[in-house]
Homo-oligomer: A and B are copies of this chain.
Amino acid sequence: MKIKPFAEIAKQYKAIFFDSFGVLKHYKGIIPGAINTIDFLKTNDIDYLVLTNVASRSPLQMADGFSKMGLVDITADRIISSGMMAQDYLRYKVKNGRAVYIGTEKSAHYIEETGLHTVSIQDLDLNELDDINALVFLDDEGYDWRLAINKSINLLRKKNISVIVANTDEAYPVAKDEIAVAIGGLAEMIEKIVNKNFIHFGKPDGQMFIYAYQEMLKRQDIDKNDILMVGDTLYTDIIGGNKFGIDTALVLSGNTQRKNANSLIRNMGIIPDYICESISVDI
């Protein structure tokens, strides 16, 4: 599959859905050219949203992060996160009691906006579970792993409650050639050991795409044919976009490297409509 300039492709669409990590930014800051790209979209009247598997921060906090890096136009209303899907679930399905969370205190604030009371897995008393109605996986930081993993397993053996995984990512890059296990990877291990069915939110699941499409419909009258999903990961961004029925472009600035992009596409059977070096409009 040939590599094409992003600008040439983007011009064919009325709206772009961007993945965040590996597309707009990486572990060291923003992707070179990202600010120009946002300007290019504005100039060409192409709207955009950001679809990201994150549950450790609210859209407001993420927008603040973008702004500090110079991407001032990516405001909170442009950000659709897997954490929002989880928040939605809790609002509709877990109306009262307390939710146990695995993550930082900060990550819990966002789900508290639903009105739910929360308790950290670290502070949970396994003998007082009467009002505990959900377990939510939010972040890989903020607790001792061994304690949290063992306690959550015993919680689920004692009480049959819904378990929400607010970010399906298994791992994430923390430096060049260095990754760390993400909260989705941790949740999967626990799901396998307790042998129950957790509820997972995040790409490639269709819910985020449809949520984003609904948001875009509020901004303009648009058909799926006129939207392009841009991502760096075949098994979340690209297969998710494909399944939702929109065109997809793989960028080589993140998880998928130039040298093995074609063999990965072939081996995984996940086929993007386009491949671009990055979202930079200068190359």
Interface residues of A (CB under 8 A from B): 88-89, 91-93, 140, 144-146, 149-150, 153-154, 156-158, 160-163, 170-171, 177-181, 185-186, 188-189, 192-199, 205-207, 210, 224-225, 235, 239, 242-246, 265-271
Chain B residues in 8 Å Cβ range of A149: 145, 181
Q: Show 25 residue pairs from A and B whose CB-CB distance is below 8 angstroms, ordered by the A residue.
A: A89-B243, A89-B245, A92-B224, A92-B225, A92-B245, A92-B246, A93-B245, A145-B146, A153-B179, A153-B180, A154-B178, A160-B265, A160-B269, A161-B271, A162-B242, A162-B271, A170-B193, A181-B189, A185-B192, A197-B239, A197-B269, A199-B239, A199-B242, A206-B206, A206-B207
Task: Give the complex CA separation of A268 and B198 in angstroms.
Answer: 9
Q: Is the CB of B140 within 8 A of A153?
A: no
**A245 → chain B closest CB, angstroms:** 4
Q: Smallest distance from the beta carbon of A236 to chain B beta carbons, Å?
A: 11
A197 to B145, CA, bound (A): 24
Known: A162-B242, A162-B271, A271-B162. A197 touches B153 (CB 8 A): no
Assess whether A93 is in contact with B242, with CB atoms less than 8 Å apart.
Answer: yes
Complex partner residue of A160 from B92, B163, B192, B271, CB under 8 angstroms: B271
Establish whether residues B153 and A171, one from each chain, have CB atoms under 8 Å apart when the complex forms. Answer: yes
Residue of B nearest to A126 (CB): B178
How many monomers of this protein are in the complex? 4
Please measure, in the bound complex, the distance between the C-alpha atom of A162 and the C-alpha atom of B145, giving whole angstroms.
Answer: 26
Tell me the bound Cα distance from A188 to B146 in angstroms: 15
Q: Which of B144, B150, B235 contacts A197 (CB 8 A)?
A: B235
Contacts A92-B245, A145-B145, A154-B177 given; 13 further ones with Cβ under 8 A? A89-B243, A150-B179, A158-B177, A170-B192, A185-B193, A196-B268, A196-B269, A197-B235, A197-B268, A197-B269, A199-B243, A206-B210, A207-B210
